Amino acid sequence: MSWQEQIGAACDLDALESIRVELFGKKGYFPAQFAKMKSIPNEEKKAFADGLNKEKAELEAAFEAKKTALEGAALAAEIDKERVDLSLFSHLEPAGAIHPISHTMNEMIEYFTSMNFSLQTGPLVEDDFHNFEALNLPQHHPAREMQDTFYFKDEKLMRTHTSPVQIRYMKAMKPPFRMIAPGAVFRRDYDMTHTPMFHQIEGLVVDEAHKVSFANLKYILEHFLTHFFGDVKVRFRPSFFPFTEPSSEVDISCVFCGGDGCRVCKQTGWIEVLGCGMVDPNVFKAVGYENVSGYAFGMGIERFAMLKHRISDLRAMYEGDLDLLEQFK
Ligand code: DAH
């Protein structure tokens, strides 16, 4: 192989380097050739030197060209090795999602705080006074049977509704105010539509006597329900709660059948969503309020979540069922 061919065939920079040593190194081809000059007759020296210099210049050029090419290839290989292909999906960690109950609760809180209601909380372990007595549910009142209570040995109990937060708040504050109190409540119940723990939002508005009316209550609840559920009809039905007088239960037109009647609304076209009323004078008396008026309401958060997202079995919400939860991403 000629030198040119050898340079051309060098497969990497190491191979090229050994050719360089053979050609241009101290003991290489060119020093040996130039050494021959001494023994060449004077008249031939110039031709010999010219030929040798030309050959050397050509091989140097070939060497440099080959070196540049090999370095370029080495760099390209290096870059190729380090390249990150951003178009490829790597392993994705499963992403979490807000639980439908939290999501619904946040949406409800957002509405009422935007209407200037302050956000309050109260203890989950309550006493008889705050959970029943002060709410006009004295010992042996038949209405106590509406709620199956978890009792502790020492007279304490798990709150059965968020209404005791009304009492704690009224004792600590002076009207006028508007507040909501969301949180967990507990009852001895377990079936398709009941779990031993669920969530409610309580609402309470109190101001001077005659400043708060049933019309105010009706307006805000109608506004809230159509805001939350969209295009539904709202109806107030006379009812009874010990802590309100008059009391009302509120229905919306069935979100499943649009009010025509179906299995879910038991062919009535209506679904009950909350309880409310004007605060009973006995409740104001229990917290030492005089010359005031107010309204209160209470609603179950799970019920709102189920109606909004068309979930039929309440228990599914508490079973960590990924098929259900992943729909809320
Ligand atoms: N505390 C009631 C319950 O647990 C709900 C309720 C009804 C709350 C009427 C109220 C109200 O504040 O006015 O079922």
Neighbours of 52 (CB within 10 A): 15
Q: What pLDDT is stored for residue 143 in this prediction? A: 60
pTM of the complete model beyond 0.85:
no
Q: Which residue, judged by its Cα, is nearest atom 7 of ligand 1?
A: 275
pLDDT at residue 86, rounded to an integer: 79
| 262 CA → ligand 1 middle, Å | 27
Ligand 1 centre distance from Cα of residue 298 (Å): 4
Q: Quick one: how many helices (H) and strands (E) in the chain?
A: 11, 9
Alpha helices in the chain (DSSP H): 3-9, 13-24, 29-35, 42-82, 100-114, 128-131, 164-172, 214-229, 281-286, 301-309, 322-325
Report the alpha-carbon distance of residue 60 to residue 38 in Å, rounded. 24
- Give the chain's length: 329
Q: CA-to-CA distance for 68 and 324, rounded, in angstroms?
A: 62
What is the number of the ligand 1 atom nearest to the C-alpha of 203?
Answer: 12
**Which residues pair with residue 185 across a beta bridge?**
198
Instruction: Give the pLDDT confidence score for residue 160 in this predicted structure.
Output: 94
Amino acid at 276: C
How far is Cα 175 from Cα 208, in angstroms, rounded to an integer? 7
Distance 286 CA to ligand 1 centre (A): 17
Instruction: Give kind and range of the element (H or E) at residue 203.
Output: strand 197-208
Ligand 1 environment, Cβ below 6 A? 161, 163, 202, 241, 243-244, 275-277, 296-298
* Cα distances (Å, whole numbers) of residue 328 to 95, 226, 228, 236, 274: 11, 22, 17, 32, 25
Q: How confident is the model at residue 144, as a pLDDT?
A: 67
Q: Which residue among 148, 159, 161, 218 has the greatest number of ligand 1 atoms within 8 angstroms of its CB, and so is best to mutate?
A: 161
Query: Each residue of 27-58: pLDDT tens digit?
Result: 989 998 888 888 888 888 888 889 889 999 99
| SS3 call for 326 | helix
Among 241, 247, 295, 301, say which to mutate for ligand 1: greatest number of ligand atoms within 8 Å of CB. Answer: 241
State pLDDT tens for residues 68-106. 999 999 899 999 898 887 787 777 787 788 899 999 999
DSSP classification of residue 25:
S
User: CA 295, 199, 195, 135: dihedral to nearest 10 degrees?
Assistant: -30
Task: Walk me through the domains of the chain, giving residue ranges and CATH numbers.
Answer: 3-82 (no CATH), 100-328 (3.30.930.10)
Q: Give the pLDDT of residue 156.
A: 92
In the reported structure, the alpha carbon of residue 272 is separated from the centroid of ligand 1 by a whole-number distance in angstroms of: 13
| Contact of 285 with 68, CB cutoff 8 Å | no
Choose which residue among 165, 166, 170, 243 to substitute to test ligand 1 binding: the one with the highest number of ligand atoms within 8 A of its C-beta: 243
What is the percent of the chain where pLDDT is above 90?
A: 66
Show contacts of 25-31: CB within 8 Å, 24+ apart: 29/3, 30/56
Closest atom, ligand 1, to C-alpha of 277: 13
pLDDT top residue among 86 and 23 = 23
pLDDT digits (tens, 9 = 90+) for 224-240: 999 999 999 999 999 99
Peptide bond between residue 182 and the one before it cis (omega within 30 degrees of 0): no
185-239 residue pLDDT tens: 999 888 877 889 999 999 999 999 999 999 999 999 999 999 999 999 999 999 9
- Kind of pairing, strands 125-126 and 177-186? unpaired
Q: Amino acid identity of 110? A: E
Q: Are 4 and 59 in contact (CB under 8 A)?
A: yes
